[in-house]
Amino acid sequence: MIYSGPAITVQMLEDGIAEFKFDLENESVNKFNRVTLDDLAAAIHVVKANPQIKGLLVTSAKNFFIVGADITEFGDVFSHGRDYIKNWVMDIHRTFNAFEDLNIPKVVAINGFALGGGLEMCLVNDYRVMSDKAQIGLPELNLGLIPGFGGTVRIARLAGAAKGIEWISTSYPRKAQQALADGVVDEIAPHDELREVALQALKKAIAGEIDWQAKRATKLQPIAMPQGDSKDFFNSVRAELTKKTNPEQYPASKAFLDVIEESADMPRDQAVEVEAKHFADVCVTPQADALIGLFLSDQVIKRIAKKNSADALEVNKAAVLGSGIMGGGIAYQAATKGTPIIMKDIGQDALDLGMAEAEKQLNRQLQRGRITEDKKAATLALITPQLSYDGFDEVDIVIEAVTENSKVKEAVLTEVENEIRDNAILASNTSTISITELAKTLKRPANFVGMHFFNPVPLMPLVEVIRGKESSPTAVSTAVALATKMGKSPIVVEDCPGFLVNRVLFPYFDAFDLLLKEGACIQKIDQVMEDFGWPMGPAYLSDVIGLDTCVHASDVLAEGFPDRMKPSFKGATKVLFEANRLGQKNGKGFYMYEADESGRQRKAFDPEIKELLAEHIDAADGPGSVEFSDDAIRDRLMLTMCNEVARCIDEKIVSSPDEADMALIMGLGFPKFRGGALRYIDQTGLSDYVALCDRYAHLGKAYEAPQILRDMAAKGETFF
């Protein structure tokens, strides 16, 4: 053994070849934490001093090569500020450069995943052999960062500026054939032969049959730019990227391109200094803080879900009551993950609609090359559409997904309970109706739980698992386990009107209605909130949800929380609903809708709105006649939502800030770069946030800062 450390070993093999193996102690995966980075520098020093080594075979003892940097360590590093971060990352550059500059060929065998810093380690090798089952990528933009261990510099030199930009801007991992075609790896090997193929490549490099020095030289020199004026090239690329991602919301999306452009004509050593500067700049942005926080919260909710599924019954077969879009989506999601499911309804037309929904989703996967015709057929075969309760005595869980009406749900749940085994779990896909109340008609309320999927089911990752007063740990665990098996992210919430997501959404809608009553412009409100980062403003979102659905949910919440959710006036949403404007579902709501050539619903301003709302607003000159500042619109809408999230934490409706924020991200489309409602409060500052609440408290209790926030502000506390 030439070198043995806690993360790396170097051992002589044969003919001057040494194996440089990553194997981080006490961890299931390799990652670049402080231990690995220190070990890397020490191992390089030993290799450089050993004249017997003629070449390095770089491998991993884990199932994955290196999954990236240890993100849990970022908080401490980044808290020291921009200059500290730049010096920290320049130390890493010096280590990576020292490895790259070893005057011997280095061949890396890439297995499993090599992501972020893992791929950056691969790039400092002279020749890359990739398993046909491996995936590699640079996902740093998802964290609000740029590749900072030399990845921004090296990939643009290896793959060319255009491909390098594409790899970084899209962030997703590439499979072996794509990586080879783009010039990021040099050879593909069958998974079981990876080490041997890499070893043979190293022997060829030592023998001079592979010009490893020329391959290395490419990374040390300026970028080989596309023909034409480089300024025009970067201006064009920048314009295209800005269409997809707002650089003010995601500054890293601009910073990585700045690095490539500014360092295009520089040698490596100068280029990595440019990268280090921009890396440090984005590390201290609130967007990076929020996005890194979300990544860590995602790990938290996965651990909590695992804990919450400890008492689960095994689900070998499921059933869904009610087909249509929602039932078909649930059936599709279960079947795609291998769970046989019965889809029952009372009418053949509804069953046909449910199967059509499942087939539509599978056809999309087929068109994108993600499944085969055989896989599509096998998945559809797992869904059994039927009008009877045949086979319900064999299912382990039934998910009720009928219309959002308590009387209808009670009747259906009571009926199906008589058709299933005594230990089978019964779940309701209600979005607002109390699980505790629905359970009162059941003989086995302990086996009953809420399981709220979001529409469209295949696209929305969140499932709220609602624990009623009598729901047993087994019922909750089974629902959590099934949601996880279906590829969803379950979050357990306590029973209350609206549960978590709808409970915090409707104060936002109430604030929107109040602004309209005072004469604000619908389109301006939507634009301000979209500029804030929401995928759509409140008027457009109401139309997408359906104004009938909004009115129903609003009534439930008004009854549940009359002190702050029962308006003293008839809001615009109810006025339009009573005029049979239901939103996209009938082509007119706050906007009017027409299908474009692709069949997509396009919204347009409808002048009839002013007439309909005129007598319901305070402004003498009619709707849209009063000018509100962007700040006032944003603050009034966000305060009501954020305050309600804080109340849910205080009341333990949800068990942690991580779960609360992730629920809003996954269930509502809360702007990711803001990190969720509670991170938004943290970043505003608790004292400043409470002062903002006080400024608007005259508008009603929904705007008043909850006591939990006043207490936290007084103690200097934060949620994260």
Q: Are 368 and 375 in contact (CB under 8 A)?
A: no
Q: For the chain, what is the radius of gyration of the CA atoms?
A: 29
With residue 508 as reference, give the H or E element that holds it.
Answer: helix 501-517
Place of tokens 């059933």: 319
CA atoms within 13 A on the CB side of 292: 24
User: pLDDT tens digits, residue range 116-175?
Assistant: 999 999 999 999 999 999 999 999 999 999 999 999 999 999 999 999 999 999 999 999
DSSP conformation class of 226: P
Predicted local distance difference test score (pLDDT) of residue 75: 92
Average model confidence (pLDDT) for the chain? Answer: 95
Predicted local distance difference test score (pLDDT) of residue 545: 94
SS3 499: coil
Predicted local distance difference test score (pLDDT) of residue 618: 86
616 belongs to the catalytic site: no
Angle at 640 between CA 636 and CA 642, to 5 degrees: 115
The residue among 148, 113, 96, 128 whose CA lies nearest residue 29 is: 113
Identity of the residue numbered 571: G
Predicted local distance difference test score (pLDDT) of residue 229: 77
In sequence order, the 6+-apart residues with CB closer than 8 A to the CB of 339 are: 315, 316, 317, 318, 382, 482, 485, 486
Q: Are 18 and 3 in contact (CB under 8 A)?
A: no
DSSP conformation class of 174: E
Q: Are 53 and 106 in contact (CB under 8 A)?
A: no
Q: Are 564 and 700 in contact (CB under 8 A)?
A: yes
Alpha-carbon torsion, ordered 653, 430, 581, 539, to 10 deg: 30
- Give burial (CB, 10 Å; 0-12/13-18/19+) of 634: middle
pTM value is 0.92
In angstroms, rounded to a whole number, what is the distance separating the alpha carbons of residues 477 and 465? 9
Distance of CA 188 to the CA centre of its chain: 31
The pair of structure tokens assigned to 681 is: 């409060």
Predicted local distance difference test score (pLDDT) of residue 615: 87
With residue 575 as reference, give the H or E element that holds it.
Answer: helix 572-578
DSSP conformation class of 702: G
pLDDT bin (cut points 50, 70, 90) of residue 621 is confident
Whether pLDDT at 620 is above 80: no
SS3 318: strand
DSSP conformation class of 316: S
Predicted local distance difference test score (pLDDT) of residue 76: 94
Whether pLDDT at 622 is above 80: no
Cis geometry, peptide bond prior to residue 456 (ω within 30 degrees of 0): yes
The residue among 203, 204, 58, 214 whose CA lies nearest residue 130 is: 58
Question: Considering only 186-195, 364-373, 420-429, 476-485, which range has the smallest mean pLDDT?
Answer: 364-373
Angle at 484 between CA 482 and CA 486, to 5 degrees: 70
User: pLDDT tens digits, residue range 623-651?
Assistant: 889 999 999 999 999 999 999 999 999 99
SS3 588: strand
The residue among 559, 300, 334 whose CA lies nearest residue 427 is: 334
pLDDT bin (cut points 50, 70, 90) of residue 598 is confident
The residue among 641, 604, 606 whose CA lies nearest residue 623 is: 606
In angstroms, rounded to a whole number, what is the distance separating the alpha carbons of residues 398 and 429? 10
DSSP characters over 454-468: -SSTTT--EEEEEE-
The pair of structure tokens assigned to 644 is: 């309600």
Pairing of strands 127-131, 448-453: unpaired
pLDDT bin (cut points 50, 70, 90) of residue 225 is confident
pLDDT bin (cut points 50, 70, 90) of residue 689 is very high
In sequence order, the 6+-apart residues with CB closer than 8 A to the CB of 405 are: none
With residue 4 as reference, give the H or E element that holds it.
Answer: strand 3-4
Predicted local distance difference test score (pLDDT) of residue 419: 96
The residue among 509, 538, 510, 535 whose CA lies nearest residue 523 is: 538
Percentage of residues of the chain with pLDDT beyond 70:
100
Predicted local distance difference test score (pLDDT) of residue 482: 98
pLDDT bin (cut points 50, 70, 90) of residue 453 is very high
Predicted local distance difference test score (pLDDT) of residue 224: 83
Helices marked H in 207-317 — which ranges? 212-220, 230-244, 252-262, 268-283, 286-308
In sequence order, the 6+-apart residues with CB closer than 8 A to the CB of 410 are: 438, 441
Average pLDDT rounded to a whole number, residues 395-406: 95
User: pLDDT tens digits, residue range 548-585?
Assistant: 999 999 999 999 999 999 999 999 999 999 999 999 99
Q: Are 444 and 425 in contact (CB under 8 A)?
A: no
Dmax (CA) for the chain in angstroms is: 91
Angle at 262 between CA 257 and CA 267, to 5 degrees: 115
Identity of the residue numbered 147: P
Percentage of residues of the chain with pLDDT beyond 90:
92
Predicted local distance difference test score (pLDDT) of residue 269: 96
Residue of 80, 93, 278, 452 with catalytic role: 452
Identity of the residue numbered 378: A
pLDDT bin (cut points 50, 70, 90) of residue 325 is confident
228 vs 504: which has the higher pLDDT: 504
In angstroms, rounded to a whole number, what is the distance separating the alpha carbons of residues 569 and 714? 36
Q: List, in sequence order, every residue forming a beta bridge with 450; answer none if it has no partner.
A: 428, 466
In the chain, the domains with their CATH numbers are 3-284 (3.90.226.10), 315-495 (3.40.50.720), 501-580+611-715 (1.10.1040.50)
Whether pLDDT at 227 is above 80: no
Distance of CA 379 to the CA centre of its chain: 26
